Chain A
Amino acid sequence: MKAMKLTLHIWRQKNAAQPGKMVPYTVEANEHMSFLEMLDVLNETLIEKGEEPVAFDHDCREGICGSCGFVINGIAHGPRPSTTVCQLHMRTFKDGDELYLEPWRAKAFPVVRDLVVDRSAFDRIIAAGGFVSVSTGSAPDGNAIPIPKKFADLAMDAAACIGCGACVAACPNAAAALFTGAKVSHLSLLPQGQPERTQRVLNMVGQVKQEMFGSCTNIGECEAVCPKEIKLEVIARMNRDYLRASWTDRGEAVRDDGI
């Protein structure tokens, strides 16, 4: 088992109201640890020394809950593609590395403390329209509407989004286009999503603007850091849906067979 000694520069900020700064630490790790386990070790040593531990969000540590995430050396979730920071292992790094850890930076994601940010804007985007209005009990049989496998698979690709916010952090405009596009795509690819397709995209994109996310200029940094490999095409699909909805919306459902 290879041991390694690292220098970490970590963003420390007590709360949203106070300014933060980078603070250097040294930590001893080994190649089998996950990145968050390495931070656990740092925190244990800090507590034993009477210093307050570094706050960071995490929960499942399996790359699916979307709680974790911060920027390592300028890259959201760190250097390994398609990997959340909880599944990043120290074997990706080497002895003597110097790493800079910062929270997601976006106006719509205010810092709560250290590496923890407030991502509730994402929840409000979903509340604005990211659902199918089907109350419990009113569903037809699951096989009543066949769904071509291709569309079910594409919808699943989009629905795999974990809502971590890396796309926003990586975007120079701090846009939420990949996240919103993924959710719009998930539902607009399925027959169940058709009745509300027009209103959904108008409401969700409207909420994105209110949350002060930036505009998408198709740079593609979001796709590059997405741990779930959500493709840029979800943004194109959202834009197409939005454009069509802006022209055709008359406050009622519009027949729409395009994908």
Chain B
Amino acid sequence: MALESYLDRFKKINGYKASAIMNFTGEILAQDSNDPNIDLGLVGATFNDIFRTAHEASDKIGLEACREAAISTPKGIIIMRCSGIKAKVHYHTIAIFSADGNQALAKMEMEKMIPLVMEELA
């Protein structure tokens, strides 16, 4: 199955704007966007850096590397999910929604996707 097809799961979620699957260094493996303002190449790489810094910072205070980060703004929500730094394949997923989007459902879909995408990438 093409990697892009996994992103289809997000498209039906209320408030969906864009999503991408990246390797842990920030290179985009698959992407989709319905908002011309969102340049996933730039945004994905920058948020990937934020996520990696969060990995280190949370590790420093004994919480282990972070699995998920959700950033809320007045106009939207950005959710990032990590497959796990010790997983078979360490990758990151990013999904962007409007402020009233269904972030709970997005998080559930991200969780469900992990073993499937990992299988695909292994």
User: Are A and B a genuine interacting pair, yes or no?
Assistant: no
